[in-house]
Structure 1
């Protein structure tokens, strides 16, 4: 057993070192030259939250009527910012690191994983801000907060799987970047972030159930439910009478990740030649 662990450690030691250095470099370069630096990882979602809160909550009255909705909106904004950033930056990661691929031999998937992990660091900082805000507002922290790391891990796996698919396609077809921008915009309004799911559930209960079969929507609602307000935030687990339906978005997450890994590994050997 010890010999097997030692072989695994030796086999992946170089990959881990490359991964760690790429994560550090990508995160530092992201804010290079900016006056506020890493603070932008907190300020960007906060500024976006302020705009959404004023426009959609104050003026358009997109709210479920509960005092926790503002912090729920902030949490959803942070989670969506991670998903959008991880997939968009992951999409361009292989092309942006083409020079490195031609010079150094290492597992190519590390490039995509390092970029998405950089976005994960920003998400961790943002969720810390959400928790701090929750301490001074009406957030209801329960034992379910222990489930949040599992929810976030699922979101990361989903984003990584999509990023591997997109990065592979972007090597051959640069139009993918523009198409993904449109898809992200459509997904943003299809996921209950700026509006509560109860608004849809009230008039279109079947559509509300269908929306939560989207893995991105399911994860965001689960994090809100487990972290902030178990009483006021519905999830796929509470909306469906048959609990088997609740496993559909989890299954889709695994399938997307496995398909992304398969597509990426099938084409990764040709990346250096194409680039």
Structure 2
């Protein structure tokens, strides 16, 4: 009797584990493997999705900051210390950023003053500025370096405008590359049967909206840079007559014609 009960119990346990194993196979949509197959929980899948979304947004945000920094470093009509952000100096055999070894101030709107923490590096700083594409001639008096911003010519403005447009386009490409990487990560989850095809379509749609949002931010930065910094300002007096298509010499006649 004891032996018979033992066999029944053994058979019950065997069938129970076999049935649970079958359920696990169906739930995981897995393949035949040797050993224990562990299914990802809903919480783990959601965590993976959230991680992909956060990573994509963080990378796009860094791209925006990089575009903004690049725009600020482009020389425009007004002196700004950020113009020297990309200038690197050969300091004791190692290239370092100029701003890390010197204080940069703006005495007025058309000049910059470089005060080195180590005066022995002034020559290297002077050379770095000359080799940059800033178009400024440094004046090194042995104590500080003075930089005067020459008036921007129409030709130079056009060149800078092209540089800004190129950097804006590079930023957009970087944002779209982030979208591509995130989409690949979602497709990987789909192959692992953690996401359905519909899930991936919805997530792809959300990702496209996020991409469009950051592309618009880059467009906004580009337009602002073009409008504020690169477009030569016109005198309000001249602009008034340009809008009216009237010469100042014929102003009385213009007013008279408006009164009739």
> TM-score, normalised to structure 2's length?
0.30
Q: More strand by proportion, 1 or 2?
A: 2
Q: More helix by proportion, 1 or 2?
A: 1
> TM-score, normalised to structure 1's length?
0.29
